[in-house]
Structures are given as C-alpha cells and as structure tokens.
Amino acid sequence: MLKKSTILALAAGAMLAGGAGLAVPALAHHSTAMFEWGTSSELKGVTVERWVWTNPHTFLYVRDTAGNRWAFEGMSPNHLSRAGWSKRSLAPGEKVDLTYYKLRDGRKGGFNVTVKRPDGSVLSQLPSRD
C-alpha cells in the first residue's frame, strides 16, 4: 500500500504536468507588435521562392528585382482556406506584386496583406475594410 505522502506527491505531479500541458499553446503564440499595422507597403515584381503552408502561420519567401530575400508571415492555413487560398496558391518562380505591413525593426519582411498574381487576381490575407 502506498503512503499518503507518496499519493499526494503523485497527485501534485499529475496536476503540474496537466497544467503545463495546457499552458504550452498560450506560450507558443507570439505578439503581432513587431509589425507596423495599418500602413501597408508595396513590393512589385517579386519572385516567389517558397510558400510555406503550415500552422500556426503561413510564410511567403520572395526575392525582389535586386536579389534581396524577403520573408512574410501570414494567417493560418485554416483562416486562409476560408478566404480562397490553398497550399498551391503560389509556386516557386511565380512573379507577383504584394502589399505588407513592415517589420518595425527594419528587416526585409513583415506581415503579408495581399498578393496580386500575373493574371490580375488578388488573394487577401485579411478581411476587406470596405
């Protein structure tokens, strides 16, 4: 038979393990304060290098006409699929124009807002404010 102190220790350990498991998703999500929300910038004629369709956020990597690499975070695949996006929405080598919210620290990248394809179709990450 287990001692009362052993049972209490096991119960406390189980509660801590359960609580830690619940806290992990909250700790894994980051703030969006790193982006300059509300004022979009534009990049024209960039070449898609990679379109990453992954949770919790999608990522778009492009090169500009000067050869500089840019990285853009986007909404989750779940959100984007409801807005008409898919993992096949963008292909390496495709030329696109895009709008984005800049990174506050000045690095080349930010939060992707729209992508305009060569055929003129536009994919939006965020709901329209019209």
Are residues 12 and 55 located together in one domain of the fold?
no
pLDDT value for 30: 58
Is residue 5 domain-resident? Answer: yes
Single pTM value for the model: 0.73
Are residues 57 and 107 located together in one domain of the fold?
yes
User: In which domain, by residue range, is 99 found?
Assistant: 35-124
Q: How far apart are CA 127 and CA 112, in angstroms?
A: 13
CB atoms within 10 A of CB 104: 12
Are residues 40 and 24 located together in one domain of the fold?
no
Is residue 105 domain-resident? Answer: yes
pLDDT value for 53: 96
Count of the separate structural domains present in the chain: 2
Are residues 39 and 26 located together in one domain of the fold?
no
Specify the higher pLDDT residue, 111 or 3: 111
Are residues 15 and 45 located together in one domain of the fold?
no
Residue type, 85: W
Q: Which DSSP state fits 99?
A: E
Are residues 22 and 43 located together in one domain of the fold?
no
Are residues 119 and 103 located together in one domain of the fold?
yes
CB distance 107 to 69 below 8 Å: no
Are residues 18 and 70 located together in one domain of the fold?
no
Helix/strand/coil for 16? helix
CB distance 80 to 66 below 8 Å: no
pLDDT digits (tens, 9 = 90+) for 57-88: 999 999 999 999 999 999 999 999 999 999 99
- Torsion angles phi and psi, residue 8, rounded to 5: -65, -40
Reading the block at residue 18, the tokens are 């359960």
pLDDT value for 23: 36
pLDDT digits (tens, 9 = 90+) for 3-61: 555 444 544 444 444 444 433 334 445 567 778 788 899 999 999 999 999 999 999 99
CATH no. for residue 88? 2.40.50.1010
